[in-house]
Amino acid sequence: MQTLLKGKHLLREQDWTNEEIETLFAVTTELKMRYALDLPTEWLKNKSLFMLFFEESTRTRNAFECGITQLGGHANYLTPKMTQIDHGETPKDTIEVLSRMGHGIGVRNTFVNGHKWMEAIAEFSKIPVFNMQCDIWHPTQSFADLYTIKEKFHNELKGRKFVISWTSAGKYMRPLSMAQSLVALMPRFGMDVTLAHPKGFELMPEPMRLARENAARYGSKFEVVDDMDEAVRGADIVYAKGWGPVMTVGDDEAAGVEMINQNPGWIVDKRRMDLASPDSIYMHCMPADRDIEVTSEVMDGPHSVLYDEAENRLHTIKALMALTMGNTMAQR
Ligand code: CP
């Protein structure tokens, strides 16, 4: 167990060792048990968390906000418009000032170069920076997902088939970050990962490189297929969500939506779940487009662990804050 995590940023999963992630999960279990028993957990009394959202959120915002409250602290909800960021104040000046006032900052910025913006913040920050989702990674979600899988399979992950499949959700172009975080993280914990998507919906080179390298290093497998039936056959974990063809059309929303709608039928339904292992679980980071990405029958059916997965955002995020915030002034 690693105890020296005070002040540590979480920008992407790869910056945390497996041992550090296991420490996070041990603290998560303690916090989850205390939550169930309604026991006090005021481990960050009077600490302030800044939550800077460039985009909307249900789960991430409320997991951080409820989480810091339950830990005895307070959250400041910020947007570019509520701050001077909209008037061009730089990441350096913003974070130099916030570092003098609070104890941690979470940022959601899924625009192209959102990750670069977070890196600029982190470079000058004296307090831990949490990636609440960017254009490349979504680490607080993938940690909650991994924790959920460990719970459901009693920590026996070696050789489990983890499928992350694209779905035809054509309302708008979703970021690639969820799929990218999953393919890079899951092979590190022994799972054999299958990525499925139609042509044109490729992921970025860096997460793909990490997926391959991590699979080789940890003795697991990583494959890419273009057929959803083939992907889910024999799967232990079926995780399916849409993303835009960003690597093909850049940020051209209209062209991206058109491409999504040219690939209908990528949906998780009962027929597909019947191809998976009988004990398989169905996952989605949410929000899920009901009866577009997944049928309601599956979402509300016996394989679905959606709401447990969403609840685990709270517990894993509390553990993240408890381990990294606190008396970071002492380390300056
Ligand atoms: N899964 C997830 O990040 O949900 P929100 O967009 O609601 O935060």
Q: Which atom of ligand 1 is nearest to the CA of 285?
A: 1
Torsion of CA 178, 181, 182, 183, to 10 degrees: 120
Compute the distance from residue 331 Cα to the ligand 1 centre, in Å: 32
Which residue CA neighbors atom 6 of ligand 1 most closely? 57
DSSP letters spanning 145-180: HHHHHHHHTTT--TT-EEEEE-----SS---SHHHH
The pLDDT, as a whole number, for residue 329 is 47
Q: Tens digit of pLDDT for each residue in 50-96? A: 999 999 999 999 999 999 999 999 999 999 999 999 999 999 999 99
Compute the distance from residue 285 Cα to the ligand 1 centre, in Å: 7
Q: Ligand 1, from 65, 77, 132, 133: best to mutate by most atoms within 8 Å of Cβ?
A: 133
- pLDDT per residue of the chain (332 residues) written in tens, 0 to 9: 999 999 999 999 999 999 999 999 999 999 999 999 999 999 999 999 999 999 999 999 999 999 999 999 999 999 999 999 999 999 999 999 999 999 999 999 998 889 999 999 999 999 999 999 999 999 999 999 999 999 999 999 999 999 999 999 988 899 999 999 999 999 999 999 999 999 999 999 999 999 999 999 999 999 999 999 999 999 999 999 999 999 999 989 999 999 999 999 999 999 999 999 999 999 999 999 999 999 999 999 999 999 999 999 999 999 999 999 976 444 43
Compute the distance from residue 133 Cα to the ligand 1 centre, in Å: 8
For residues 23 and 2, the answer to whether their CB atoms sit within 8 Å is yes
Token pair listed for 17: 């060792």
Which residues have any ligand 1 atom within 6 Å of their CB? 57-60, 133, 141, 285-286
Characterize 206-230 residue by residue with b for buried, 16 or more Cβ atoms within 10 angstroms of its Cβ, and e for exposed.
ebbebbeebbeeeebebebeeebee
Which residue CA neighbors atom 4 of ligand 1 most closely? 59
The pLDDT, as a whole number, for residue 327 is 63
Provide the 3-class DSSP secondary structure of residue 17. coil
Q: Tens digit of pLDDT for each residue in 142-161? A: 999 999 999 999 999 999 99
Which residue CA neighbors atom 1 of ligand 1 most closely? 285
